[in-house]
């Protein structure tokens, strides 16, 4: 008797059915309406057939992802759900079939441009989790943040020596069915994030004046989403410009699961806290010139939460209040946990308030 590959036997445990998820990306082109990515997984026995029915045609901007890349993203996501610890080999991908007609944003043809397609790839990975959460909820994490990057540069030698600083920014990933989401995560690209401040400041006319977690963008839940990060860079040179590459600020893909809250999206704030403050949530190729002393605050999004926030361990809530990641009011309003404080404001006792949690139910 021929044995099925392990992955096929795992697929056979998933109820035969169709599982769908979709998301609209931010606006590209002149229509004012962003393209849609739609996934449908049809499980039948030991195979999963992937359809892109409902996905938008390729667009005029270079976010289109080549067909082979879209298939690779989905194969990696499905393998990661079903056999995350197994060394990858071709056998893991044999059970997956694709219905992928040409000319879509996930299967462009010349002359459709393809360059910055990582955003489509990250959306595909997260939509895979969201679709199959209906079938295998104990394996699927909530949605994670979308990629974000900034370019700070000077090109005109009349303003000084040209330079270009490019940095993708880490963010928060989705909560898992049995644990909080990772912070300082970056999926879907091979670029190096988190440039050490010592390296940044010795090679570029920039100063890092603030670098911290953003707990406020994490989706609440029994297990909360990962935090975003905030990195404030002060410009120390004239003639400097900013480019922002950002996505999914209008419709978040960092969606919560099983009652968890959504993660909040990314943003870039120029000159924060001043009369000249500007918040950027769309792609911008040339913002500036920036003046000496201007600050660019790069703020990445958080991951979605998993499960009802009122089921979160009260001890974990109290710990985050002590670490100043939550306020006392947030602990009560979001998680139904009352934190009793001493005169110095330090949390000394936590209590899961039955009345509050029953009120939610």
Kindly state whether residues 107 and 167 are assigned to the same domain.
Answer: no
Kindly state whether residues 125 and 2 are assigned to the same domain.
Answer: yes
Kindly state whether residues 269 and 338 are assigned to the same domain.
Answer: no
With CA atoms as reference, report the closest residue to 250 among 59, 21, 26, 22: 26
Whether the CB-CB separation of 39 and 127 falls below 8 Å is answered with yes
Question: What tens digit of pLDDT does each residue of 43-56 get?
Answer: 999 899 999 999 99
Structural domain ending residue among the three candidates 140, 172, 203? 140
* Residue at token pair 């994670």: 144
The one-character DSSP state at 293 is T
Kindly state whether residues 295 and 149 are assigned to the same domain.
Answer: yes
Kindly state whether residues 161 and 301 are assigned to the same domain.
Answer: yes
- For residue 270, count CB atoms less than 10 angstroms from its CB and return exposed for 0-12, middle for 13-18, buried for 19 or more: buried
List the beta strands (DSSP E) in the chain: 17-24, 36-44, 47-51, 96-99, 149-154, 163-168, 206-214, 228-235, 240-245, 267-270, 278-280, 284-290, 295-299, 337-341, 347-352
Kindly state whether residues 249 and 104 are assigned to the same domain.
Answer: no
Give the structural domain span for 35: 1-140
With CA atoms as reference, report the closest residue to 250 among 15, 7, 9, 23: 23
Kindly state whether residues 242 and 222 are assigned to the same domain.
Answer: yes
Distant-in-sequence, close-in-space partners of 228: CB < 8 Å, separation ≥ 6: 145, 171, 172, 213, 214, 217, 218, 263, 264, 266, 299, 300, 301, 302
Kindly state whether residues 147 and 294 are assigned to the same domain.
Answer: yes
With CA atoms as reference, report the closest residue to 276 among 289, 294, 292: 294
Please give the model's pTM, rounded to 2 decimal places. Answer: 0.89
Domain count, the chain: 3
Kindly state whether residues 275 and 316 are assigned to the same domain.
Answer: no
Distant-in-sequence, close-in-space partners of 117: CB < 8 Å, separation ≥ 6: 62, 63, 64, 65, 66, 69
Whether the CB-CB separation of 218 and 228 falls below 8 Å is answered with yes
With CA atoms as reference, report the closest residue to 290 among 337, 221, 243, 354: 243
C-alpha distances out from residue 351 to 21, 224, 331, Å: 38, 19, 10
The three-state secondary structure class of 223 is: strand
Kindly state whether residues 42 and 105 are assigned to the same domain.
Answer: yes
Whether the CB-CB separation of 326 and 214 falls below 8 Å is answered with no
Half-sphere exposure of 288 (CA within 13 A, CB side): 23
Pairwise CA distance, residues 149 & 119, whole Å: 11
Kindly state whether residues 167 and 303 are assigned to the same domain.
Answer: yes
Pairwise CA distance, residues 22 & 63, whole Å: 17
- pLDDT per residue rounded down to tens, the chain (361 residues): 344 455 556 888 899 999 999 999 987 755 567 899 999 999 999 899 999 999 999 998 889 999 999 999 999 999 999 888 888 888 888 889 999 999 999 999 999 999 888 899 999 999 999 999 989 999 999 999 998 999 999 999 999 999 999 999 999 999 999 999 999 887 766 666 788 999 999 999 999 999 999 999 999 999 999 999 999 999 999 899 999 999 999 988 999 999 999 999 999 999 999 999 999 999 999 999 999 999 999 999 999 999 999 999 988 998 999 899 999 999 999 998 888 766 455 554 445 565 556 555 5
The one-character DSSP state at 120 is H
Quickly count: other Cβ atoms within 10 Å of residue 49's Cβ: 15
Structural domain ending residue among the three candidates 78, 111, 140? 140
Pairwise CA distance, residues 51 & 43, whole Å: 11
Question: What tens digit of pLDDT does each residue of 88-120 get?
Answer: 888 888 889 999 999 999 999 999 999 888 899
C-alpha distances out from residue 355 to 89, 274, 352, 359, Å: 52, 43, 9, 6
Kindly state whether residues 333 and 289 are assigned to the same domain.
Answer: no
* Residue at token pair 């994030």: 193
| Residues 65, 71, 76, 78, CA torsion sign | positive
């Amino acid at each position: 008797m021929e044995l099925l590959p392990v992955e096929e036997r795992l697929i056979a445990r998933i109820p035969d059915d169709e599982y769908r998820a979709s998301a609209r990306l931010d606006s590209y082109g002149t229509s004012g309406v962003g393209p849609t990515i739609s996934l449908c997984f049809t499980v039948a026995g030991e195979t999963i057939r992937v359809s892109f029915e409902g996905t938008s045609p390729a667009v005029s901007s270079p976010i289109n992802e080549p067909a082979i890349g879209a298939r690779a993203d989905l194969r990696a996501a499905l393998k990661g759900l079903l056999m995350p610890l197994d060394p990858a080999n071709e056998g893991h991908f044999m059970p997956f079939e694709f219905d992928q007609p040409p000319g879509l944003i996930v299967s462009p043809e010349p002359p459709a441009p393809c360059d910055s397609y990582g955003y489509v790839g990250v959306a595909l990975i997260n939509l895979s989790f969201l679709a199959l959460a209906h079938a295998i909820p104990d394996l699927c994490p909530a949605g994670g943040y979308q990629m974000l990057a900034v370019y700070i540069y000077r090109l005109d030698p009349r303003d000084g020596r040209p330079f270009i600083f490019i940095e993708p920014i880490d963010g928060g990933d989705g909560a898992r069915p049995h644990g909080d989401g990772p912070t300082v995560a970056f999926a879907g690209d091979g670029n190096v994030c988190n440039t050490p401040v010592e390296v940044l400041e010795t090679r570029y006319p920039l100063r890092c004046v603030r670098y911290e977690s953003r707990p406020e963008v994490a989706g609440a839940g029994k297990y909360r989403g990962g935090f975003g990060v905030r990195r404030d860079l002060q410009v120390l040179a004239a003639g400097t410009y900013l480019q922002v590459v950002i996505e999914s600020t209008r419709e978040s893909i960092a969606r919560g699961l099983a009652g968890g809250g959504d993660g909040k999206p990314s943003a870039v704030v120029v000159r924060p806290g001043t009369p000249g403050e500007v918040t950027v949530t769309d792609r911008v190729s040339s913002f500036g010139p920036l003046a000496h002393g201007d600050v660019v605050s790069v703020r990445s999004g958080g991951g979605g939460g998993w499960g009802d926030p009122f089921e979160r361990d009260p001890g974990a809530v109290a710990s985050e209040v002590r670490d100043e990641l939550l306020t006392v009011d947030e602990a009560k309003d979001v998680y139904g946990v009352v934190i009793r404080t001493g005169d110095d404001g330090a949390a000394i006792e936590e209590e899961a308030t039955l009345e509050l949690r029953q009120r939610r139910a």
